[in-house]
Structure 1
Amino acid sequence: MDPSDGYRYCEQVVRSRARNFSYGIRLLPPPKRRALSAVYALARRIDDFGDDDATPADKRLAALVATRKQISDLDSRPTDPVFVAMADAARRYPIPLEAFAELVDGCESDVRGAAYETFDDLLAYCRRVAGTIGRLSLGVFGATDLRAAEPLADALGVALQLTNILRDVREDALRGRVYLPGEDLARFGCSLQRDASGRFTDPPSRLVALMRFEAARASEWYDTGFRLIPMLDPRSGACASAMADIYRRLLARIAADPLAALQGHVSLPPWEKAAVALRSLWMVR
């Protein structure tokens, strides 16, 4: 398969599955846009194995093992369009492919139903499933000082993942998953137990306090991660800024009305995402 065909497939994955990331990816010049689309498509595939509750756990774990092997064998002329594109992107950019193995580790913990007692436990998970994406993206972006940029890219990924966790508390609870640290639940006197209608039984005031505490923590990770932007070229900086700012606005909505976030899926309208992307492009220029 020609790499261009693989890239076209990956860009279609971005258009259909990356509801927030796509606004930033569009700001990149075509070569970087194609490469980052390949990174996203492969990450999306790995993540889907972790989230596919309809498939037995042993089969999902086997699929993750097989994917790990495919990543290590990118030089062996793959035929899958995602791996064809990823192999070509890895030849063109210094993408740290070992980060995909960390992402697989994180998704394996999802399949096994891991719980997180402390924030440090959760942080290790966030670094595997999202900090890795920051570092993989940095391989495409490039930076004036790669060594200094890597922990900032990792921090931005952690910030986005913490936002995802807060956005999806109800959805995850319905699937039997709790990502918020046990020590935080105890601190605020919350159990995240649900009644017959699916509503949380904890007193609303405690849930609000818990969610705002976690949102404030996530905001600190954004403060660190946004220091990455000046280290990137203008188009890469616009891409990273747009993606991060969309999520930070989402976090602000969650913090403003935690109970609404706990009752349904919070999102930004497409016009606001587009406005954020345009503003990001203007700001870095």
Structure 2
Amino acid sequence: MTRKELDAAGIHDPALRSAYQRCRTLNARHGRTYFLATRLLSPPQRPPVHALYGFARWLDDIVDEPAAGATPATITAELHTVEQRFFSALAAGHSDDPLFASVIDTSARYEIANRHFRAFFRSMRMDLTVTDYPRRSALDEYVHGSAEVIGLQVLPVLGTVTGRDEAAPHAAALGKAFQLTNFLRDVGEDLARDRVYLPADELAAFGVDRDRLGWCADRGLVDRPVREALAAQIAVTRTLYDRARPGIAMLHPVSRACVATAFRLYAEILDRIERAGYNVFAHRAVVPRRRRLVVAAGALGRAQWLQLRNPSPLPPAGA
């Protein structure tokens, strides 16, 4: 993270600056589209966004990329310990742990509700025991904590020209759309982790179950029932993008290019799944780096012009 960004955000304490830098590194490592879109925010907005995304990525890694020799019991115990320590530090308003410090600072500056962090931990715990979702409502419960609350956490950093409550449902819908897009792209990878993040009853309507998905994954192909089931899931996901779209205009002007770019690039993953004949098993549907850079470059000039014309929505230092 550049000195300019940290200075602009009013972050001067050396230990705190280091903590924000660590979260930026985590975000850059995992979220190529998110990280690129963040470059379109004003400098003072970038550190808190990196803090929130980096912290979420770190917690996700505890569950999805455990240390060698870890068991479900040890992972559960580690996550429980982290959760207790985090909320104790959050209540105190300070932590010497670099993995907590920047998030706690961001939470205080932007008055982020504790319930959003609690919901995220709850979904991470679900990942340790839940491998299938029988109905949409069960999946929605998981996605609220794993994705919707991320949109709600980031919203005060982005700022709004409406009341935050008015923009919140759109922010939650976009977080959900991003997550469901990931699930569709990563069906094969998730199966390898013994998870299916698609509603079983909706798959069953097309004659698809876990075994059929596994058969396709083993062969790197997709049959007609699976193709039709995935097409239906993409249609559901596109309704969420439609629900989220009006929220972009509700954001502070300096934030719109960032969110619009992430929106465009993530929605394009669905297009690429379709162009590949819905075969999410043969290769991972991604937006190529060159395409991401072209889209971001097109938004960069407008983002910089808006940043010159509009004051940042950053709250006063120490708020």
Q: TM-score, normalised by structure 2?
A: 0.83
Residues 138-147 or 221-230, more deviating = 138-147
Indicate which of 206, 209, 215 corresponds to 1:188.
206
Map residues 134-145 of structure 1 onto 2, 5 A cutoff.
134-143=151-160, 144-145=162-163
**1:103 matched residue in structure 2:** 120
Give the superposition deviation at 1:237: 1.5
Alignment pair present for 1:266 and 2:285: yes
Report the Cα distance in structure 2 between the residues aligned to 1:246 and 1:138, rounded to whole angstroms. Answer: 19
Moved more, 171-180 or 77-86: 77-86
1:258 Cα deviation after fit: 4.0
For 1:49 and 1:34, how far apart are their aligned partners in 2? 23
Aligned to 1:43: 56
- Deviations along 1:103-127, one digit per CA (max 9) or x if unpaired, are 1111111111342111121122111
1:58 aligns with 2:77: no
Q: Is 1:159–1:219's contact at 8 Å kept on the other side of the alignment?
A: yes
Q: In the alignment, residue 26 of structure 2 is paired with which amino acid?
A: V
Q: Unpaired runs of 5+ in structure 2?
A: 1-13, 307-319
Contact 1:96 / 1:139 at 8 angstroms: preserved in 2? no
* Structure 2 Cα separation of the partners of residues 212 and 283 of structure 1: 35
Counterparts of 1:89 and 1:197 in 2: how far apart (Å)?
A: 41
Alpha-carbon distance in 2 for matches of 1:76, 1:230: 33
Equivalent pair of 2:231/2:278 in contact (CA under 8 Å): no
> Which residue number in structure 2 is paired with residue 171 of structure 1?
189
Whether the aligned pair in 2 keeps the contact of 1:43 and 1:100 (CA below 8 Å) is no
Larger C-alpha radius of gyration, 1 or 2?
2
1:128 aligns with 2:141: no
2:219 counterpart of 1:199: yes
Say whether the 8 Å CA contact 1:126–1:158 is kept in structure 2.
Answer: yes
Is 1:67 the equivalent of 2:85?
no
Distance 2:186 2:141 in 1: 19
- Deviating more after overlay: 230-239 vs 209-218: 230-239
Q: Is residue 80 from structure 1 mapped to residue 93 from structure 2 by the alignment?
A: no
CA separation in 2, counterparts of 1:146 and 1:70? 29
Q: Which moved more, 1:87-96 or 1:151-160?
A: 87-96
Q: Contact 1:190 / 1:207 at 8 angstroms: preserved in 2?
A: yes
Percent identity over the alignment?
30
Q: Is the 8 A contact 1:24 1:239 kept in 2?
A: yes
CA contact (8 A) 1:94 1:140 kept: no
1:239 offset after TM fit, Å? 1.5
Given the superposition, is the C-alpha separation of residues 97 and 270 from structure 1 closer, same or farther in structure 2, using an over 3 Å criterion? farther
Number of aligned residues:
284
Q: Which moved more, 1:117-126 or 1:188-197?
A: 188-197
Deviation (angstroms), 1:221: 0.1
- For the aligned residue pairs, the C-alpha RMSD in angstroms reads 2.1
Q: Which AA in structure 1 matches 2:34?
A: F
